[in-house]
């Protein structure tokens, strides 16, 4: 749950030893046995609950990459498989990178992934994305040709949003699709968002809880909607297919859209608008009763 929003972090200087594009060696040899065990623990928890919850593209990606529970993956081996499938590669970075650097990697079909893993005390909640979130959460979807194109198009769109001063709107699109998106299928709603699928608690909450709203994806609506980074989402947006997501985003010129929505108010997180397609109308009980902090204190 709750990885830090990319655009909220302070843009620090290039870390010592990093390349100008912020990449570093993964340092595969430096992981300890304990590090590998944390990956395996996290992996096994997700493997238990994701069949029937994650979308087929994600589950197929896990298989195709052999991302099963043998400890932290070596990017060299992963990249051989991934680049054969969709031309994407994973590059190691020390953590969050500046927006322009991030977009540049995506636009070139490189996914920047943190090389460190969380500690044993942070299995359920972490402040900054680690290698489990970045690789287990994001990389399986990059084996899907349509999603692979979406991520690259997003990177190009990111450069443009930066130059137009509309990063906030584009960041919301990332949040509600790449991180927290749900997909409608004949079998029911399925998860494709990395922030959900890398979290055991949110994988259950996002599909099973009565609390959040689940609404049909609408590009303009999503780009106007606030979001939270510190707890389970209060609203999830549902796409009818990955192809639809790619078509409406790549097929829309965001320039006029940015100008239009800059004259419109932001939409609060739990709002349901008369024009929304409602999958589930949430009670908001989890959020209004204090969310994660309240549960933790109980
Ligand atoms: N079509 C968008 C633009 O004109 C670019 C984009 C594509 C953004 C896909 C996000 C996802 O800026
Ligand atoms: Fe992420």
Tens digits of per-residue pLDDT, 98-151? 999 999 999 999 999 999 999 999 998 888 999 999 999 999 999 999 999 999
Closest CA to 246 of 274, 213, 283, 219: 219
- Residue ranges for the chain with pLDDT beneath 50: 1-8, 298
Residues with C-beta less than 6 Å from any ligand 1 atom:
153-154, 157, 160, 173, 249-250, 252-254
Ligand 1 pocket: which of 152, 220, 250 to mutate (most atoms <8 Å of CB)? 250
Given a contact cutoff of 8 angstroms between Cβ atoms, the answer to whether 167 and 7 are in contact is: yes
Give the Å distances, CA to CA, from 134 to 142, 233, 268.
11, 19, 28
SS3 277: coil
| Distance of CA 152 from the midpoint of ligand 1 (Å) | 9
pLDDT at 1: 34
Ligand 2 ion: Cβ-proximal residues, 5 Å cutoff: 194
**Counts for the chain of helices (H) and strands (E), in that order:** 14, 7
Q: Which residues, in sequence order, are CB contacts of 151 under 8 Å at separation 6+?
A: 88, 106, 109, 111, 141, 142, 178
pLDDT recorded at residue 226: 98
The residue nearest atom 11 of ligand 1, judged by CA position, is: 154
Amino acid 297: pLDDT: 52
What is the pLDDT at residue 296?
A: 60
Is the separation of the CB atoms in 241 and 192 below 8 Å?
A: no
Atom of ligand 1 nearest to the CA of 173: 10
Ligand 1 atom 3: residue of nearest CA: 254
pLDDT of residue 68: 80
- CB within 8 A of 81, min separation 6: which ones? 64, 65, 66
Residue of the CA atom closest to atom 10 of ligand 1: 154
* β-pair type (213-216, 188-191): unpaired
Taking alpha carbons only, the member of 144, 136, 193, 187 closest to residue 2 is 193
Q: Which pLDDT does position 124 carry in this prediction?
A: 87
Q: Which ligand is nearest to the CA of 111?
A: 2
Ligand 1 center–CA 60 separation, angstroms: 26
The reported pTM is 0.95
- Residue 236 dihedral angles phi and psi, to the nearest 5°: -120, 145
Query: What DSSP element (H or E) covers 280?
Result: strand 278-280
Query: What is the CA(187)–ligand 2 centre distance, in A?
Result: 26
DSSP conformational letter for 95: S
From 102, 160, 261, mutation site for ligand 1 pocket: most ligand atoms within 8 A of C-beta: 160
pLDDT for res 70: 85
How high is the pLDDT of residue 134?
A: 98
Q: Which amino acid residue places its CA nearest to atom 1 of ligand 1?
A: 250
Q: Which of 109, 157, 223, 257, when mutated, tests ligand 1's pocket best, judged by the most ligand atoms within 8 Å of its CB?
A: 157
| Residues contacting residue 209 through CB under 8 Å, at least 6 positions apart | 232, 282, 286
């Amino acid at each position: 749950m709750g990885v830090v929003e990319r655009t909220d972090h302070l843009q620090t200087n290039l870390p010592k030893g990093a390349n100008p594009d912020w990449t570093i060696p993964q340092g595969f040899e430096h992981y300890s046995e304990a590090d590998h065990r944390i990956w395996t623990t996290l992996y096994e928890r997700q493997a238990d609950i994701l069949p029937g919850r994650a979308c087929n593209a994600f589950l197929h990606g896990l298989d195709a990459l052999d991302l099963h529970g043998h400890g932290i993956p070596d990017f060299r081996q992963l990249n051989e498989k991934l680049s054969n499938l969709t031309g994407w590669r994973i590059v190691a970075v020390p953590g969050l990178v500046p927006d322009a650097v991030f977009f540049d990697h995506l636009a070139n079909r490189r996914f920047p992934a943190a090389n460190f893993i969380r500690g044993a005390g942070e299995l359920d909640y972490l402040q900054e994305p680690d290698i489990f979130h970045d690789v287990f959460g994001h990389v399986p979807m990059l084996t899907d040709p349509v999603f692979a194109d979406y991520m690259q198009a997003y990177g190009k769109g990111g450069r443009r949003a930066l130059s137009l001063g509309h990063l906030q709107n584009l960041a919301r699109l990332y949040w509600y699709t790449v991180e927290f998106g749900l997909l409608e299928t004949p079998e029911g709603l399925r998860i494709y968002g990395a922030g959900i699928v890398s979290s055991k608690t949110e994988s259950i909450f996002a599909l099973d809880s009565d609390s959040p709203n689940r609404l049909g994806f609408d590009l303009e609506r999503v780009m106007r909607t606030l979001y939270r980074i510190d707890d389970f989402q209060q609203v999830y947006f549902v796409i009818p297919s990955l192809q639809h997501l790619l078509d409406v985003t790549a097929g829309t010129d965001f320039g006029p859209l940015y100008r239009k929505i800059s004259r419109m108010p932001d939409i609060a997180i739990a709002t349901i608008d008369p024009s929304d397609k409602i999958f589930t109308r949430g009670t908001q009980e989890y959020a209004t009763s204090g969310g994660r902090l309240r549960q933790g204190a109980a």
